[in-house]
Structure 1
Amino acid sequence: MSQLPPIQAVAFDLDGIMFNTEHVFFLSGDALLQRRGKKMTPDILRGMMGRRAHEGFEHLTQFLDKPEDPLELWEESQEIFRSLLDQHLKPMEGLFELLDFLEELDIPKGVATSSPRPYLESLLSRFDIIHRFPISLTAEDVTHGKPHPEIYLTAAEKMGVSPKNMLVLEDSETGTRSGVAAGAYVVSIPHEFSNYGDFSSAKFVAERLTDERILSLLAENRG
């Protein structure tokens, strides 16, 4: 690992990396579609995952029998989603351990998500970690959503590092492509709702946030 550029900052995706919200989103999306005589499928979810809300729900409308307003669909989905959070929401395995490790190493960290800011803040507040992310970028902060590299280029700029010195942690193909296009060091951590994606452009694929390769990368390449 000594040949690799030192990792000087870490950018976290939110959904599916920090919290199991993709699981909750699958449940809420399925409930939304069942109201219309449909079911959530991998193809529908794949086209929505990692994208900003209006882009994701524009994709979903293609699978309906009649046209519907993507914004209204999103609002209906959010009502269902919120009703499921208390029962189903959990942090992803190793999240708090990795945050502690980064703070021990004094490596800056931030969140770069396609989700809206109120949603980001509500999730971080639930687990009392909003103060641990002084840098955060949301759907409102960019002109182009993932897989465009804008959000990760901006994250690197805000954390004062070159993209090549920033580790990006992503769970989706869309997010992985965004980080790679920005020139970042991308590690993909897919889960049951995203593991059908193409992660060949990532540096490697891990099973959890505390994968030994991630921890070694951070410890050995601290510059």
Structure 2
Amino acid sequence: MLKALIFDMDGTLVHSDPIHLQAFVEVLGPEGVVIDDVVFRNSIIGHTNESIFATLLPNHSVEEHEEFARRKEAAFRRLATNLKPLDGLPDLLDWADASGIHLALVTNAPILNATHMLDIIGVTERFAVKVTIEDVARGKPDPLPYLTALDRLGIAAHEAIAFEDSPSGMKAAKGAGLFSFGMLTGLKAEEMAALGADRTIADFHDRALWEILEDRARS
């Protein structure tokens, strides 16, 4: 029986990627680093800050990477003041609450960003479990963040459904054994399917989602 829904955050709960791109441009542009859509898609979306800055600033020290990451996240929070939940999210969360299904967040973002975004879209208190990058030794694409969420929820993988939008996130969710929806906020359906997504949906109104939820909730 379905007991939990586990969500990624950026690109899944909220379409925040354009603001992240803007923040990276603001912080790394003066360093001569070009952040275009290709770089953002291939080297940033779904990656940890450790990986991102090691890739984009290979000649800088780890300490410098950490400082750039701090500045970038501060820029993001300053810019991200008008976020909206992905279409259909409030209805899905209401359905989960009414059905006694727990909600969890699993993100490579730092806790300050997660709290900021959840507060802006008004859903902070709805998540029983929140796993951020500070909570785990290894972020996505390692399955550890999802395994940590399952452990905190006290359930098995077959009792939960995950929602992800990035290659690293989908690899993590599938690595943890979760049935996973691929959100088409950044990738195409065929790309998500190639990563292992069990189904792909454009938003949380998608009928393909509700057919599976209603079936699993009855099982």
TM-score range normalised by the length of the shorter chain: 0.7 to 0.9
> Is residue 84–residue 121 contact of structure 2 (8 Å, CA) maintained in 1?
no
> Is residue 3–residue 100 contact of structure 2 (8 Å, CA) maintained in 1?
no
Work out which of the residue numbers 110, 113, 116 in structure 2 matches 1:122: 116
Percent identity reads: 23
Name the residue aligned to 2:12.
Answer: 17
> Is residue 124–residue 130 contact of structure 1 (8 Å, CA) maintained in 2?
yes
Work out which of the residue numbers 57, 60, 71 in structure 2 matches 1:67: 60
User: Following TM superposition, by how much is the alpha carbon of 1:74 offset from its aligned partner in structure 2, in angstroms?
Assistant: 1.2
Q: Deviations over 1:35-69 (max 9, x none)?
A: 2334213443222222322222222224xxx5362
**Separation in structure 1 between the aligned mates of residue 74 and residue 129 of structure 2, nearest angstrom:** 28
Q: Which runs of 4+ in 1 moved over 4 A?
A: 194-197
Answer yes or no: is 1:31 the counterpart of 2:26: yes
**Which structure exhibits the higher relative contact order, with contacts defined as CA atoms closer than 8 Å and separated by 6 or more residues?**
1
Answer yes or no: is 1:44 the counterpart of 2:68: no
User: Following TM superposition, by how much is the alpha carbon of 1:196 offset from its aligned partner in structure 2, in angstroms?
Assistant: 9.4
Q: Matched residue pairs, number?
A: 213
Secondary structure at the residue paired with 2:27? helix
**Separation in structure 1 between the aligned mates of residue 140 and residue 124 of structure 2, nearest angstrom:** 23
TM-score, normalisation: structure 1: 0.86
TM-score, normalisation: structure 2: 0.88
Q: Deviations over 1:53-90 (max 9, x none)?
A: 2222222224xxx536211211221232223212x522
> Is residue 182–residue 200 contact of structure 2 (8 Å, CA) maintained in 1?
yes
User: Following TM superposition, by how much is the alpha carbon of 1:173 offset from its aligned partner in structure 2, in angstroms?
Assistant: 0.8
User: Following TM superposition, by how much is the alpha carbon of 1:111 offset from its aligned partner in structure 2, in angstroms?
Assistant: 0.4
Q: Deviations over 1:167-202 (max 9, x none)?
A: 00001011000000110001110314x449942211
Work out which of the residue numbers 152, 161, 165 in structure 1 matches 2:155: 161
